[in-house]
Amino acid sequence: MQYQIILYVANQQKSRDFYADVFNMQPVLDVPGMTEFLLNSNLKLGLMPEEGITKILTPKCLI
């Protein structure tokens, strides 16, 4: 089983650079809208721009 933690960030590029430095590794995925670091065989850290969560939640949150 693989787990993924997603952090919603204000700036994807700055966050990518920060975590690349902290983990001393390059992301396994780095495209507009999502950056992923494979921390171990069962855990990924995803970085998604804050506006990405709005697109996902807005249709479900409208009353």
Do you know the residue count of the chain? 63
pLDDT of residue 62: 59
Find all residues with CB under 8 Å of 23, minimum gap 6, and list them: 37, 39
pLDDT of residue 53: 72
pLDDT of residue 32: 95
**Stretches in the chain below the pLDDT threshold 50:** none
Sign of CA pseudo-dihedral 21, 32, 38, 5? positive
pLDDT of residue 8: 94
Which of the listed CATH numbers 3.40.50.2300, 3.30.720.120, 3.90.870.30, 1.50.10.20 matches domain 3-61?
3.30.720.120
Cβ atoms of 8 and 49 within 8 Å: the answer is yes
